[in-house]
Amino acid sequence: MPDEQEFVTGLEGVPASEDDVAAVLAAEAGAPEADLDTIARSVAAHAGAFVATVGQIASRTAPEATFPVLLLATSDLLASGARLGAMVDVVPPLRYEPDTGPDADLDTLRIGLAEALEGFDEYAEVVDPVLGEEVGRASLSGDLATVTAALQQGLAHYDAGDVLEALWWWQFSYLSSWGERASSALRMLQLVLCHIRLDVEDDVAAEAEYDALQA
């Protein structure tokens, strides 16, 4: 039977950071509110950074950096989300979700993302590899908008001072929606970058190889 340090790992055989291990073990043991506050503060920072980055991409602030920036932002967010998935369920004091006002209108964001990602936006995926091999259609713009909407709702709770409610919402929506969509988006972003960087004409590759050998 592995001990706790061996159980909480990143890549196989590579231990997670001490902070990640401590956060998970504290949550398993029934973390005091102060520890949950620390986790919530970290998630809020990652969520805010992701929302801001996606907004900048949609506004075409730096189109040449679209895919690298989204790859970094999504990877960072999923690292934070993994801590939520590894924790036991967060239970807020209220048995209902406080009203945070009307839902944000993300149509403009989704359209801006679709334009920024033109040519690479839509893709095919296995809907649920655990349950079967059904293939469906998805889009990066839809994925990123879905993730943004979930994060913003949690941020609204957090900014209102409802820290446990925010943490509960981020954890629940990570498991039910945004974790899956962010993971799918990350794979697509990584594959797009691979194709952009590696798919070159044979004569171009040969010329680059020759130049490298002569350098």
Residues 6+ apart with CB under 8 A from 160: 98, 100
Question: What is the domain-level CATH number for residue 70?
Answer: 1.20.120.1550
pTM of the model: 0.76
Report yes or no: 145 and 113 within 8 Å, Cβ to Cβ. yes
* From 7-16, 93-102, 185-194, 197-206, the region with the lowest mean pLDDT: 7-16
**Residue 53 forms part of a structural domain:** yes
**Residue 169 forms part of a structural domain:** yes
Mean pLDDT within 39-46: 94
Residues 6+ apart with CB under 8 A from 65: none
Distance CA 151, CA 9 (A): 25
**Residue 74 forms part of a structural domain:** yes
**Residue 174 forms part of a structural domain:** yes
pLDDT of residue 91: 83
Q: What is the extent of the structural domain holding 186?
A: 31-214
**Residue 17 forms part of a structural domain:** no
**Residue 10 forms part of a structural domain:** no
Closest CA to 44 of 178, 180, 153: 153
Mean pLDDT within 125-136: 88
**Residue 19 forms part of a structural domain:** no
**Residue 24 forms part of a structural domain:** no
What dihedral angle (degrees, nearest 10) is formed by the CA atoms of 76, 78, 81, 82? -110
pLDDT of residue 12: 36
- pLDDT confidence of 2, banded at 50, 70, 90? very low
Task: Work out how many domains the chain is built from and give that number.
Answer: 1
Distance CA 3, CA 82 (A): 20
